[in-house]
Amino acid sequence: MSPDQRRDLIRRTFRSVAPRYDLMNDLMSLGIHRWWKASFVAMADPKPGEVVVDVAGGTGDVARLLVARGAIVTVVDPSAEMMSVGRARPGAGGITWVEGEAEVLPLADTSVDLVTVAFGIRNVTRIEDALAEIHRVLKPGGRFHCLEFSTPQRWLAPLYEAWSRTAIPALGAAVSGRIEAYRYLVESIRRFPDQRQFADLIGDAGFSDVSWRDLSFGIAAVHRAIRDDRRWSRS
């Protein structure tokens, strides 16, 4: 599949599932995604007045948590349909919504204190380009926090694999009528790098202090890093 074909597939997928996307997240994760996101925002620890960009922010569920902590928040997402759903919800008034892709962020260099991505980095056309863009827009000392599905511990992997391949597409068909969209989402999770591999990609993009924390035995993970330009300075 070419990059353009992948981009078109992703856009069609999220256009089709937007009205019931958050309901499906509740069903697919048995509600655990809400705890994951609350934990993610607590780890990111946005300060009042900080400029925060939530990339692939979709319907704004993470953005609303960030705004509640006093941050100045912009959602950047390629799906106008997803953002339209988010704008209509309570608490969306303090969020700026911008249509754009992670690989070409419509933001100035070194203009952002914190970039967050929750369950969106695996849907970009090229992860390396998205990470380079995130690095570009962060201020020196700025933080990058990413919540994404990852590789669960070995004892859990067979159960998780069975749930992903059978229950999630079935739920997608029953609730949204879009079984093909949820088959794509399951495949995107399966193809995503594991914790160490993703950390290496972040480091290769120029970030320092890269670390991660597993959630729910590795079903999801939060990766953290800093843009620290001092690592490139010469004495």
In this predicted model, what pLDDT tens digit does every residue of 199-213 receive, in sequence order?
Answer: 999 999 999 999 999
CB burial class (10 A; 0-12, 13-18, 19+) of residue 10?
A: buried
| 45 belongs to a structural domain | yes
Which amino acid type is present at position 80? A
pLDDT over 50 (residue 234): no
| pLDDT computed for residue 204 by the predictor | 97
What is the percent of the chain where pLDDT is above 90? 66
| 165 belongs to a structural domain | yes
CA dihedral 171, 173, 179, 182 (to 10 degrees): -30
- Determine the Cα–Cα distance for residues 97 and 57; give it in Å rounded to an integer: 9
Domain that holds residue 116: 3-228
| 47 belongs to a structural domain | yes
| 234 belongs to a structural domain | no
| 95 belongs to a structural domain | yes
Q: pLDDT band for position 31 (50/70/90)?
A: confident
Domain count across the chain: 1
Q: Which of 8-17, 72-81, 83-92, 131-140 has the lowest mean pLDDT?
A: 8-17
| 209 belongs to a structural domain | yes
**pTM for the full predicted model:** 0.90
pLDDT over 50 (residue 52): yes
| pLDDT computed for residue 16 by the predictor | 61
pLDDT over 80 (residue 177): no
* CATH number for 122: 3.40.50.150
Return the bridge partners of 114, or none. 52, 143
Q: ∠ at Cα 59 (58, 62), nearest 5°?
A: 85
Q: pLDDT band for position 235 (50/70/90)?
A: very low
Instruction: Tell me the mean pLDDT in the region 83-99.
Output: 92
What pLDDT digit, counting tens, does each position of 214-227 carry?
999 999 999 999 99
Instruction: Tell me the mean pLDDT in the region 69-94.
Output: 93
